[in-house]
Homo-oligomer: A and B are copies of this chain.
Amino acid sequence: MNRLDRNSWIEIKRAIHGEILNSTFAPGDRLPRDEDWARELGCSRSTVQRAMRDLALRGVVERRRKGGTRVRRNPVTRATLDIPITRLEVEEAGGTYGYRLIKRRRMAPSAKVAERLGVARTTTLLRVEALHLSNGRPYVFEDRWISIETASEILDVDLEVESANEWLVRNKPFSRADLRFYAINANDRLARLLEAQANAALFVLERTTWTGEAPITSVTATAAPGYRLLTQI
């Protein structure tokens, strides 16, 4: 248990995780106190803490003051998804990005959108519909509602040139977001816009963002057929 010189907390983590993986400690079991690991592994308690925090973050163990550290009984698959700006997603996949503004209009939200954003139905919002293209083919259709109160500068942006997606991400960073992923069948309009067959299964990402308590935007992004969201752990 020596030879743990540099980047030692990762080695410590591996050592502890190893003992869980090889069933020295089973789900529900209580692990030794940090201090004991520290003595055992020849490092300081802070280093064990660093390792344990990471294991807890990944959902491997649960930690409680006084209660100690336990192997999670019901492990979850905890995945991190990075959802980039659509333009970058296209470009990083080696495609040529294109963009077309379809509609831009001030209007009051539907009940659903008003509830998502937490605004009154009488509020006037900016509604923007746009199509993102990859190599000239439809890639993602977005139907977006923007709070004029929170992001009034958006009214002066030429949305024919810069997508609302991009402008908002760069100029109105959010502090909180809700995300929903699901599948829908293409209706006639979506099928036309995305060049999909009638009823094609489409992947949808809904995202609503706030800065503090102020709503920024709510967007429903519907991807063309074949879209896949990938991640690794």
Contacts and interface: CB of A to CB of B under 8 A. Distances in A.
Contact of A179 (B20, B84, B232): B232
Interface string A64-108: 000000000011111111111100100000000000000000000
Interface string A167-206: 0011001111111111111000000000000011111100
* A interface, size bucket: 35 or more
Contacts of A169: 74-75
Given A181-B181, A183-B201, A17 B84 contact: no
Given A78-B81, A178-B230, A183-B201, 16 more contacts: A21-B173, A21-B211, A60-B173, A74-B84, A77-B207, A79-B83, A176-B232, A179-B231, A179-B233, A180-B228, A181-B181, A181-B229, A183-B183, A183-B203, A183-B227, A184-B201
Interface of A: 17, 20-21, 27, 59-60, 74-85, 88, 169-170, 173-185, 199-204, 207, 211, 227-233
